[in-house]
Structure 1
Amino acid sequence: MSAVTAATTGDPLPAPPDRAPDLADDFATGPRSELWVGHYLPHWTTPDRSAARTGPTEDGLRLRIDEDQPDWRPEDAPMRVSNLATGTFSGPLGSTRGTHRHRDDGLTVRTPTPTRLLWAPSAGRVDLTVSATRDAGCMLAGWLVGTEHGGEQDSGEVCVFEIDASAIGTHTVARTGLKAHHDPRLVTDMTEVVLPFDATRPHTWTAIWGAGRTLIGCEGTVVRRIEQASAYPLFLMLDLFEIGPPGGSYPKSALLHRVRGWTLG
């Protein structure tokens, strides 16, 4: 992946739609159950391993990794995660059907989950205001992933951002772009962008997708123009990962301040 600066396009993002968002949460009372599932891909593991650790603050919602938190799957250890998602889908127990088949090592359904499309637009816009973390071994991410409930090829991903704690300083390096996964209609197109600020402060990412085009922006400026877009429902996922052996002080955490989403088309 090549590195570019966030200011290289110089183009402002389009204004959001002039109407109330279809998805809106400031997390004042924690994640709202009608908007969020507080588990990370629960169908591929068990509820005790997929459950998010969170806590409301006056500034939003804290995603936490706690010292006693189990690995997401024993096969992936050491890796712990707290995630919010706008829906779930899986096939029956023992099947390989389910949202986000992101690994090639034999993911099978261990906990069947209902099809819940809490917010899953085929074209849309989302604005995510977050503060990343410098806690060792951690990554904060925001993704839009194919639900796959309509077909296994409907699996592409808009990677709005991935920010490693080790990549944060006076400037921040973030990964962003598009991942095809199992969708032959898409081509993976990921890169790194250099943001001219410390991403542990509140900042806003934007993704706009549909009609064969994806825009990704940060702080009101376009950082990626991708002449591809999926045309099937996508779930929003917001994740804090700890990857690697436990260490340092706990809890490790990042903040979700605000989410706004619009269904388009």
Structure 2
Amino acid sequence: MFDERFTEGLDPSVWTPAYLPAWSSRAAAAATWRVDDDGLHLSIPPDQPLWCPDDHDPPLRVSAVQSANRSGPVGSTEGQQPFRAGQTVREEQPTVLGLTPGDGTVEVECRARLGPSAMFSAWMIGLEDAPDRCGEICLVEVFGDTVAGAHAAVGSGIKAFRDPHLVEDFVVEPRDLDVTGWHTYAAHRRPGSVDLAIDGVTTRNLRQAPDYPMQLMIAVFDFPDHSAHDPSDVPELVVRRVRYHP
């Protein structure tokens, strides 16, 4: 059983406050974050630099936490969620296995404030301790330009990447959902299936599942090249609770 309410900040034995830092560095990929009575605030202020600015297209900025972290040595291709073929590690990462759930239920309770050029997401990925163990279960993904009052287009499902045992099954569906309010996004995984839910109501039944431990990723993103980008806008994701129970 794991129940995180961020009452004492970020536990470094669980959380890495940087986004896939092997491809740049922990400093260059560092999140902007703080903790108060509402929980963990992830934000992107105007002066936050681009993530992997010489390597990633389109340009993006991101504040994220991840519940595990690892990589191979500098120059190797052994990292998590590479975004291009042959990508190599720039900073070797320590192995931190904070929350790496197998079967069971993962819940993320959060709210977001998004301009049209921002998005937020919570997803689980394989540790990639073997190349095929790289699949993704996306609990929620929302782009700000799909938000209209109490409605949003919500992405969820499975992304196969290089896992030959998975089939791509990611969809974006319109929902009556005010992302500025508190909602709980959940994935219940068991052998051969994943059920996704919002606020306790099942939204999707997936008839496949990764069969290896995974880590949780929680992030807010900003895309400066978006036609509606406002440099003064500060996207924010507030995470009140993370739970896992087998």
Does the residue aligned with 2:239 lie in a helix, a strand or coil?
strand
CA offset at residue 250 of structure 1? Answer: 4.5
- Report 1:28-39 matches (<5 A): 28-39=7-18
Q: Is the Cα–Cα contact under 8 Å of residues 194 and 206 in structure 2 kept in the other structure?
A: yes
With normalisation by structure 1, the TM-score equals: 0.86
Does residue 104 (structure 1) correspond to residue 81 (structure 2)? The answer is no
Q: Is the Cα–Cα contact under 8 Å of residues 45 and 111 in structure 1 kept in the other structure?
A: yes
CA offset at residue 209 of structure 1? Answer: 0.9
> Which residue is equivalent to 2:241?
258
Number of residue equivalences: 240
| Residue identity opposite 1:220 in structure 2 | G
- CA shift in 2, pair 1:166/1:250, >3 Å: closer
Does the residue aligned with 2:188 lie in a helix, a strand or coil?
strand
Does residue 92 (structure 1) correspond to residue 78 (structure 2)? The answer is no
Long gaps (5+) in structure 1: 1-20
- In the alignment, the residues of structure 1 paired with residue 235 and residue 157 of structure 2 have an alpha-carbon distance, to the nearest angstrom, of 26
Match for residue 42 of structure 1 among 18, 21, 28: 21
Match for residue 55 of structure 1 among 30, 34, 39: 34
- Report 1:187-202 matches (<5 A): 187-202=167-182
- In the alignment, the residues of structure 2 paired with residue 195 and residue 82 of structure 1 have an alpha-carbon distance, to the nearest angstrom, of 25
Cα displacement string for residues 89-137 of structure 1 (whole angstroms, at most 9, x for unaligned residues): 1111111111222x22542100101222111122221111111222231
Does residue 231 (structure 1) correspond to residue 214 (structure 2)? The answer is no
Q: Is the Cα–Cα contact under 8 Å of residues 116 and 146 in structure 2 kept in the other structure?
A: no
Match for residue 132 of structure 2 among 153, 168, 173: 153
With normalisation by structure 2, the TM-score equals: 0.92
Long gaps (5+) in structure 2: none
Does the residue aligned with 2:145 lie in a helix, a strand or coil?
helix
Q: Is the Cα–Cα contact under 8 Å of residues 60 and 257 in structure 1 kept in the other structure?
A: yes
- In the alignment, the residues of structure 1 paired with residue 132 and residue 195 of structure 2 have an alpha-carbon distance, to the nearest angstrom, of 22
Does the residue aligned with 1:43 lie in a helix, a strand or coil?
helix
> Which residue is equivalent to 1:9?
none
> Which residue is equivalent to 2:194?
214
Match for residue 130 of structure 1 among 110, 121, 129: 110
Percent identity over the alignment is: 32
> Which residue is equivalent to 1:70?
49
| Residue identity opposite 1:228 in structure 2 | Q
Q: Is the Cα–Cα contact under 8 Å of residues 133 and 140 in structure 1 kept in the other structure?
A: no
> Which residue is equivalent to 2:60?
79
Does the residue aligned with 1:237 lie in a helix, a strand or coil?
strand
> Which residue is equivalent to 2:230?
247
> Which residue is equivalent to 1:10?
none
RMSD, aligned CA: 1.5
Does the residue aligned with 1:166 lie in a helix, a strand or coil?
helix
> Which residue is equivalent to 2:185?
205
CA offset at residue 184 of structure 1? Answer: 0.6
- In the alignment, the residues of structure 2 paired with residue 163 and residue 36 of structure 1 have an alpha-carbon distance, to the nearest angstrom, of 23
- In the alignment, the residues of structure 2 paired with residue 177 and residue 62 of structure 1 have an alpha-carbon distance, to the nearest angstrom, of 25
- In the alignment, the residues of structure 1 paired with residue 48 and residue 152 of structure 2 have an alpha-carbon distance, to the nearest angstrom, of 28
- CA shift in 2, pair 1:189/1:212, >3 Å: same
Runs of 4+ aligned structure 1 residues displaced above 3 Å come to none
> Which residue is equivalent to 2:120?
140
| Residue identity opposite 2:197 in structure 1 | G
| Residue identity opposite 2:164 in structure 1 | P
- In the alignment, the residues of structure 1 paired with residue 115 and residue 14 of structure 2 have an alpha-carbon distance, to the nearest angstrom, of 28
